[in-house]
A and B are shown apart, each in its own frame.
Chain A
Amino acid sequence: MLEKAKTDGFVLLCFPFVLFASSWMWQLYLSGQYFELIVSVAFSIFLYFALGKTKAIAIFLYISTFIIFFSNFQISKSVFYLEELDIYNLNIRRSYYSGDLVGRFAENKPLKFLTNYKQNFFQGIDPNFYFFANHPRERGGISEFEKLSPIFIPLFLIGVIDYLRRRIYQPFYYSLFTLSLISTGGMIDNFSYLLFPFFALSIYHGIYLLCMKFPGIR
């Protein structure tokens, strides 16, 4: 079905619709993040073609993502950087334990790095972050915006479930790779556009499957 879609031009109509209907892309455009906008659109197309047997495109996609991320990576803004307040809190918490050794084992810098990493990672797999502007748990001091309309949720789910059912794992591998990578950076918001291709593709696939049910619409 997927192969058929590629050939019959459905994709030429539907894929741009997904891109234009996403407030995420408009937000990038309006805030002048043109590079991010181009990368999001281009990578969505690459990921689409990577679903086929073309390994070269997949490899190109992974390497490009890696390069883009690390060219913008700053250690002082990453999860591996601790503020003075973090160190102070760490020492305070160490004092809670009966022995210094236990305190150092329970409260240490690697654990804090892991917590920072998890903060980003779990933010990245929070559906509310994408579909509800992080509502009802908006973060203080951050201007949240709805990246994708909640109307897309059923389409997204249909797409994701069908990919799993057909054992098409490439979108999942790519999103997991990207998420694991960008979670080491500072705020996940700065790199979250790299996850857009996964959402765009899944929503597109959901729309496609739905349209297949109604040949008249096609």
Chain B
Amino acid sequence: MNMRRRKIFLFFFFFIAFILALVLRFYKLESIPLGLDVDEAAIGYNAYSILLTGKDEYGQDYPLLFRSFGDYKMPVYIYFSSPFVAFFGLNIFSVRFLSAFAGTAMFIPFVLFLRELFKERKWLPIIGAFLYAISPWSVFFSRGAFESSLAIFLLMLGMYFFLLGLGKNTSALILSSSALAISSYTYHPQRIIAPMLFTMMILVYRDQLKSKWRDSQKLVIFSFLLFFILWVPQLFFSFSDAGSTRFQQLNIFSRIGSPGKIFYEFLAQLSAYLSPRNLFFEGDPEPQNSVPELSVFFSWMVVPYFLGLWVLLKNLKNKGIKVIAFSILIFSFPASLTSDPFSSLRAQSLSIPLLIIIVLGADQLCLMIREKRVLILGAIFLFLSSLFSLYRSYFVLFPRERYEAWSYGYQKITENIREYRGKVLVSSVVQPSYIQLLFFLKYDPIQFQKTYSGEVLPNYYDADRWREDFSIGNIGIRALNWEEDIYREQLIIANSIAISDGQAKEHRFEKVFTIYSPEGKVLFNGFKTNPDQKRGVPSRAGEL
């Protein structure tokens, strides 16, 4: 095959893989995942609030950390989402757009990074392109408004630009340090990952940097300084109540006493993040962060995974391989310090080196299979069966079996109460569902800020207790108070656990509407109270 034909051939494959990545990340984005998670709603509403008022939901001017439910969200995803909310309006699509865009765009630096790292292996970037396009880990987190998705895109950009900067384009080092520093403001674990990664890459490529030092000393110094200047400010809030809240909630140190036990826990967690059982079969135990019958990688990938690990061990002197090996340790480090078992969200950055290992293994497998026809047929079979598996798990089973984990139903609630002028009580015991109502009602941020700014703003960054009852105009959101609420004229919205049919009958509630799940299960009921009948007084006619 001559060079020109070969280039066209390669470009065609990359183009197909890119289109596949795009389709898998944007197809039915507004309806799958089915529902809107509270964190997505918080990101969306805060982006909306910033857009309209320049303040967050509580009225804080351009915060460095968004207080939200007391978890203090990192700011970059929210600020970067504002233009999309402005363009598409406040809806599920606009909130998820940035994540889907980052997940799709990451295809480019990922493939280029592979090309830079393994220049001699012409087919390796193509294998990487296809495997990235269909990678369940990437597809899943690209389709929800997950900050981690944007964070690993920036991380990948940083890694690629660093390699590029070592070549002729030294100025790419500036882009690398900027991308890595910004990523540390995007998702909590990146606050640790970004500096560790940057330092590791400097150490691994110190020889090349030394030679750069002679030619473009100022540029190298400037890029290092830039990273430092951009990264350091987050250190100040890292040690504040607000900056450390998330770590305080999740770390293994506060739960386990002795250093020996902490080390044991850390090792067990680290091992779990590299375990084939978790990576290729069971996935994340959190129903919200996983799909039925599919883990973060396809089961068949276990073979290239082991082969890739062997390639990694054999070539540890290679600098590119060193970067991958150290990345595994760095990327799994923050997640291993937390107590949740195999959190695929927190360890999403780990998907980069692990996928590269799988790509290396697949490339090795291609070298081992000498019969081309077997290789092509095998690759087509695995590719099609993977696509089918993704379709089955993500597009068929996931919306029907995980809608509760994604808080499905609140959009329907707002459709039912939007025009209602009387008092409404949404019974909420577990979920901070006020934010979903704010989101779907597109409630005026100024009005909401007026209600809570006085209480929250004086100690915005102090991480004090998060309140569990809210009111949005005529709507109250709190746990049901049986002694008082049944004697108030109001519309109560609750699930069938909060108010059973028997209780509704006993307290003379009148069912006004029911919200069903896709498979016909009752999710919420809207009941109108009848205080007069409850007290034994003849009913006054009152229609919803």
B461 to chain A, nearest CB (A): 32
Inter-subunit contact B339/A136 (CB<8 Å): yes
* Contact (Cβ within 8 A) A115 B280: no
Chain A residues with CB under 8 A of B512: none
Report if A63 contacts B (CB, 8 A).
Answer: no
Secondary structure at the A interface, as helix, strand, loop or mixed, is helix
> With A118-B281, A137-B342 known to touch, is A127 a contact of B396 (CB < 8 Å)?
no
The answer to whether B83 has its CB under 8 Å from any CB of chain A is no
Smallest CB–CB gap between B31 and chain A, Å? 15
Across-interface contacts of B281 in A (CB, < 8 A):
118-119, 121-122
B229 within 8 A of A: no
Residue contact B282 to A97, C-beta cutoff 8 Å: no
In chain B, positions 262-279 with a C-beta closer than 8 Å to chain A are: 264-265, 267-269, 271-272, 274-278
CB-CB contacts below 8 Å: A88-107 with B: 93, 96-97, 106
CB distance from B34 to the nearest CB of A (A): 12
Q: B272, B293, B396, B400: which contacts A137 (Cβ < 8 A)?
A: B272
Q: Which of B276, B339, B340, B388 has the most CB of A within 10 A?
A: B276
Q: A127–B271 contact, CB under 8 A?
A: yes
- The CA of A122 and the CA of B340, in the complex, are separated in Å by 20
The answer to the question of A161 belonging to the interface, with a C-beta cut-off of 8 Å to chain B, is yes
Alpha-carbon distance A123/B282, docked complex (angstroms): 10
Bound together, the chains give a CA A125 to CA B278 distance in angstroms of 10
CB of A75 closer than 8 Å to a CB of B? no
CA distance A57 to B280 in the complex (A): 34
Contact code string B354-390 (vs A, CB < 8 Å = 1, else 0): 0000000000000000000000000000000000100
Question: Smallest CB-CB separation from A106: which chain B residue?
Answer: B392
Interface check A126, CB cutoff 8 A: yes
In the complex the two chains form, is A126's CB within 8 Å of B276's CB?
yes
- Residues 116-153 of A, flagged 1 when their CB comes within 8 A of B and 0 if not, give 00110111011111011001110000000000001001
Bitwise, A148-169 to B at CB < 8 A (1) or not (0) is: 0010010000000100100000
Contact of A115 among B277, B293, B339 (CB under 8 A): B293
B310 at the interface (CB under 8 A from A): yes
B277 touches A126 (CB 8 A): yes
- Please, could you name 19 A-B residue pairs with CB atoms under 8 Å apart, sorted by A? A119-B281, A121-B281, A122-B276, A122-B277, A122-B282, A125-B276, A125-B277, A125-B302, A126-B276, A128-B272, A131-B271, A132-B264, A132-B271, A136-B339, A136-B341, A136-B342, A137-B342, A153-B271, A161-B313
Interface residues of B (CB under 8 A from A): 264-265, 267-269, 271-272, 274-278, 280-282, 285, 293, 299, 302, 310, 313, 339-342, 388, 392, 396-397, 400
11 more contacts with CB within 8 A, not counting A135-B268, A164-B310, are A96-B396, A121-B281, A122-B302, A125-B277, A125-B302, A128-B277, A131-B271, A135-B265, A137-B278, A137-B282, A161-B313
